[in-house]
Every structure is written in C-alpha cells, then in structure tokens.
Amino acid sequence: MADIRIGITGCGGRMGRMLAAEVHGAAGLRLAGGSEAPGSALLGRDVGELAGIGPLGIAVTADAAALVGAADVVIDFTAPAAAAEHARLCGQRSTALVLGTTGLDAAQSRAVEAAAKLVPIVWAPNMSPAVTLLQRLVAEAARRLGPEYDIEVLEMHHKHKVDAPSGTALALGRAVAEGRGIDLASHSERVRDGHTGPRKPGDIGFASLRGGDVVGDHSVIFAGEGERLEFTHRAGSRRLFALGAVRAARWVAGRKPGLYGMTDVLGLEG
C-alpha cells in the first residue's frame, strides 16, 4: 500500500516543525510538503532543515492550494483565518484534514463544518489521548455529582498564547455542560473582577493564566461543601500533540466525509 502523503500548513512554527519531524520518522507516512504565509521569511527554506532532521529537498511554499492538492491529509496548527481557508481548500481538493487550530469564530467554524460535508476532518482543540479521556471523565463526574458542586475550569499556557480560555478549556467546559444537561453559553462565567457578588448557582467558571513557557495545564474542579474533586492534565512537551495529530492523520485517511474528533480516533464513541 502506498504511503499516506501528509502536508503541513504552518510548517515553520513550533508545532509545524515538530509535526514534520514526526511525519518523516513514521512508517507508512510521507511528507508531501509544508506551507507558510505569503511574505514569511521562511519561504524557500528546506522543511527538513527547519524541523532539525536535515535537508529533505522540500521547500517551504506559500501556495497552500498546491500543498493541499499534493497531500492525502493536511495537518493544520496555524491561525483561525488561515485554518478556515485551508479547510475550504481541502474541501475543494478532496483532501482530508486534521485541524488542531483553536480560537475560530462562528463564521470560521461554519467554514470548517461546510468543508466536512465534502471531506473527512478530525477537529480537536487538543490532540492528546489523555485529554480526550479526561473529557469523558469530567462529563461523567458532572453527570454523577449534583448541582451543589460548583464547577471551575482552570488553564495555564505560555505567555505567547493569544486566545483565552484555551480551546481545550472550552472543550472541557462543553464536556461538563453536556454531563449536566445544560447549555454552556448560557451557564458560563468567563471574567470576575471587582465586586461580583456571590457565585451564580449552576454556572461553569473559567480562569486563564499566562506566563513563561508552560505548554498547557488544565484542571476541572468540582467544589462541594467540605470536599473538592480535581481532574488535572499537564502537558510537558508539545510532542504529545504532534504524536496525536499523526495518529489522527493515519485514522482519517480514506474515511467518509464528516466532522470527527479524537474520541473517534481513539474508538471512544458509543
């Protein structure tokens, strides 16, 4: 069977470089190319050299459409506007997509959903298998524990992260809201400052911390009278996200069009 051809958008970023290295070293996969935004200083550079694995004879391109056309699966960890455009291109070129970009607005999300009617897309704010399982665990805890337990989601990331709460924190919030049988948007407390008054019963609170080089820490806290239950995941390296994305790329190749998550990749549905 021929190798699965993998294209990496944003190949010059921290995740992109790590993804290129993981794809190159993975059996049954072949790096089809990498792209960067027009005007990037990295255009024309060798993707392998950027990834620290030596020259591969593959130059970084600004032509995302050509990259999508040359790949069986594209892996995207870029920016919201770019990700939505890449999803559109994948839909046009019948190329599967693994999307790890967070912070998409409603219109950008609709663009991804529209593309998923044409091609298979794995869209997950966090590609870690452990975080995927964590979502299941906190949903079950929310289902089992009564409304007398207040739920807070705490996340911390490096100082360069531009969106808050993190995509993973929001995914965890959606999981506990589903467990409670409530709508997250109408039961979400994002900001507390000044004289806020008592906590509103039933709300799911979010707190975001930024600093240093923290890869990603997430905790979901169930605070009751006289006790507290905490679920925590700490990422020590971005490599775990790259490994999860590569696993998703293997899984999504050849699937039917649709919008999938890491629960599908790990076989946790049902």
- Encode pLDDT of 241-262 as tens digits: 999 999 999 999 999 999 999 9
pLDDT 10s digits, 103-145: 899 999 999 999 999 999 999 988 999 999 999 999 999 999 9
Paired with 150 in beta bridges are 223
8 A C-beta contact, residue 191 and residue 206: no
**Given 24, 86, 157, 233, which residue is catalytic?**
157
Has residue 261 been placed in a domain? yes
pTM score, two decimals?
Answer: 0.83
pLDDT at 2: 80
pLDDT 10s digits, 47-62: 999 999 999 999 999 9
Average pLDDT, the chain: 95
pLDDT at 80: 95
> What residue numbers bound the domain in which 18 lies?
4-123+238-265
Has 157 been annotated as catalytic?
yes
Confidence of residue 269 (pLDDT cuts 50, 70, 90): low
Has residue 98 been placed in a domain? yes
Distance CA 11, CA 240 (A): 17
- Asked if 193 and 158 sit in the same domain, the reply is yes
Q: Which residue has the tokens 């400052």?
A: 193
**Structural domains of the chain, count:** 2
pLDDT at 238: 86
Has 187 been annotated as catalytic?
no
Has residue 69 been placed in a domain? yes
pLDDT of 270 strictly over 60: no
- Asked if 75 and 173 sit in the same domain, the reply is no
- Asked if 225 and 244 sit in the same domain, the reply is no
CATH of the domain at 84: 3.40.50.720
- Asked if 55 and 184 sit in the same domain, the reply is no
CATH of the domain at 218: 3.30.360.10
Note the helical H segments in 106-228: 106-115, 129-144, 167-180
pLDDT of 146 strictly over 90: no
pLDDT 10s digits, 174-212: 999 999 999 999 999 998 899 999 999 999 999 999 999
201-213 burial, b for 16+ CB within 10 Å, e for fewer? eebbbbbbeeeee
8 A C-beta contact, residue 29 and residue 4: yes
Has residue 97 been placed in a domain? yes
Has residue 270 been placed in a domain? no
Has residue 26 been placed in a domain? yes
